[in-house]
Amino acid sequence: MRIASRVYSLMINSVDPHVPSKLRPLWNHAAGPKTVFFWSPFFKWGLVLAGVKDITRPADQLSIGQSASLAATGLIWSRYSLVIIPKNYGLFSVNVFVALTQIFQLYRAYAFQKAIKEKPVESK
């Protein structure tokens, strides 16, 4: 067993007796905090926060490739999270939000490009 796995197991086993009975079903769920099925979506919320923060970024500074890639992966993983066993609704929700924030960024970039094309050229 790797050191990281041992440390993680030690942490989980030390917290286990202190989990309240009302939270026990979540704690012991197949996609609960004892598994990667919980922690992966948990940390992926950082991508959602970054996308929300980018709403304040000027549209000319948006990366269309990055937004398109994140939107596509958000949509693909949203679908995947509902066909795997156990169904992972945490993974589903984070990927829906990743896709939505990036689709919004793509719209902003598209609207900016369209506005530039429609803007009349000023002559000197």
CB-CB contact of 67 with 102 (8 Å): yes
For residue 25, how many C-alpha atoms fall within 13 Å in the half-sphere facing its CB?
Answer: 1
Q: Which two tokens stand for residue 88?
A: 């992972």
Please indicate, yes or no, whether residues 39 and 72 belong to a single structural domain of this protein.
yes
Whether 36 is covered by a domain: the verdict is yes
Please indicate, yes or no, whether residues 73 and 49 belong to a single structural domain of this protein.
yes
Instruction: List, for residues 69-83, the tens digit of each pLDDT value.
Output: 999 999 999 999 999
How far apart are the C-alpha atoms of 77 and 118, rounded to whole Å?
36
Please indicate, yes or no, whether residues 22 and 63 belong to a single structural domain of this protein.
no
Burial of 70 (0-12, 13-18, 19+ CB in 10 A): buried
Residues of the domain holding 64: 31-118
How far apart are the C-alpha atoms of 12 and 18, rounded to whole Å?
10
Please indicate, yes or no, whether residues 63 and 45 belong to a single structural domain of this protein.
yes
Q: What are phi and psi of 86, to 5 degrees?
A: -75, 150
Torsion sign over Cα 8, 11, 17, 19: negative
Say how many domains are in the chain. 2
Whether 68 is covered by a domain: the verdict is yes
Whether 38 is covered by a domain: the verdict is yes
Whether 124 is covered by a domain: the verdict is no
pTM of the model: 0.76
Instruction: List, for residues 75-115, the tens digit of each pLDDT value.
Output: 999 999 999 888 888 899 999 999 999 999 999 999 998 98
Please indicate, yes or no, whether residues 58 and 95 belong to a single structural domain of this protein.
yes
Whether 123 is covered by a domain: the verdict is no
